Structure 1
């Protein structure tokens, strides 16, 4: 991957994060918009739009930082655990899914039903599974577990600041933007940096000779 492709990859992910943050805010923070629509206040409305775009850009940078950290962690895991690395990733995924239910529920002191936290964890796992299947179909079957690891474990780690905020508005804004950016990065990387089938090309040259 050359520097031009890398910058293009970064900018597209950045813009996608800004757009995702803005679009999500229309649903999550609709009351804030309605306050400036009736009566109509143009300057305040523009300021609100810029704020949520900026917030999406920040979340996008967090996503990209986590994505490149994931690439390093994946290589490091392969070097340390070798053939056991997929098993380690599955165990970490199970641990994180459990934590997504247990710790937020404990933080609410039982005021919120555990069902909602189970639903949240299942939604993230289900979406991650769906994206990982696409990644595996477009590349190879061995890419499924690392892709699921990114979509569940890395995304959850990136989401920790959002989980620590009061209320659910900004937590929802953050998780949607992170999932959108991580999905784009995961499903785009192999397109802009395709692997070269050395053996196949060698055989083709041999046949031509």
Structure 2
């Protein structure tokens, strides 16, 4: 990963975060007039603010993504067996889903929602499964568990303020989790293409010219 490719991934992830956050926020604002900064009469102002927040979400998502890549590199160097590291990630993913469901169950009265404690983990698992399936299909089966881990565990860590903050509510969860999830999915599905292009370019530059 050279600097040019990293810069492309950085600004494009921020752009994805801005677009997705604006769309999600606009839909929520349209369905709930209490959502937003100044109501529907200031929809343009809200759209700009949502886009700016989305850019921050994109940058934060990339920090989490590269933190996971660093963790993955270190773990493979320490454990040295890919299947053991994948098994640990699978266990952690299931534990995280159960843990977040339990925490939301405890807060169901404050959140004023009796379904969120099982609906959120289930929807997150299904959506992550789809992303991991396509990642494995585009690369290899070894990418399935790491992608699932990224989409579940890393997304939950990035969206933690909306889950356990003093002002946490279902609206805040949706507004933060969806952009984070999409940004992570965008990065993991794009990563192998960027690396493949770089490897192809290096191979071409090292090839000897025909005589």
Q: CA deviation at 1:4?
A: 1.4
For 1:70-89, list aligned pairs within 5 A. 70-83=68-81, 84-89=84-89
Aligned to 1:169: 171
| TM-score, normalised relative to structure 1 | 0.84
Q: Deviations over 1:176-204 (max 9, x none)?
A: 1001101100000100111859xxx9xxx
Q: CA distance change for structure 1 residues 3 and 94 in 2, over 3 Å: closer, same or farther? A: same
**Larger Rg belongs to:** 1
Alignment of 1:1-209 (within 5 A): 1-30=1-30, 31=33, 32=35, 35-37=39-41, 44-83=42-81, 84-109=84-109, 112-113=113-114, 115-163=115-163, 164=165, 165-194=167-196, 196=199
Provide TM-score, normalisation by structure 2.
0.83
The answer (yes or no) to whether the contact 2:97–2:121 under 8 Å persists in 1 is yes
Q: Provide Cα deviations, 1:130-186, integer angstroms capped at 9, x if missing partner.
A: 100111111111111111110011111111011123322222111110011011000
Offset of residue 72 of structure 1? 0.6
Number of paired residues?
193
Structure 1: runs of 5 or more not aligned? 38-43
> RMSD of the TM alignment (CA)?
2.3
> Is the alpha carbon distance of 1:7 and 1:94 closer, same or farther for their aligned partners in structure 2, counting shifts above 3 Å?
same
Match of 1:41 in 2: none
Structure 1 stretches of 4+ moved >3 Å: 32-37, 108-112
Conserved? CA contact 1:17–1:59, under 8 Å = yes
CA shift, 1:107, in A, is 2.4
Query: Following TM superposition, by how much is the alpha carbon of 1:109 offset from its aligned partner in structure 2, in angstroms?
Result: 5.0
* Whole-Å separation in 1 of the counterparts to 2:65 and 2:199: 23
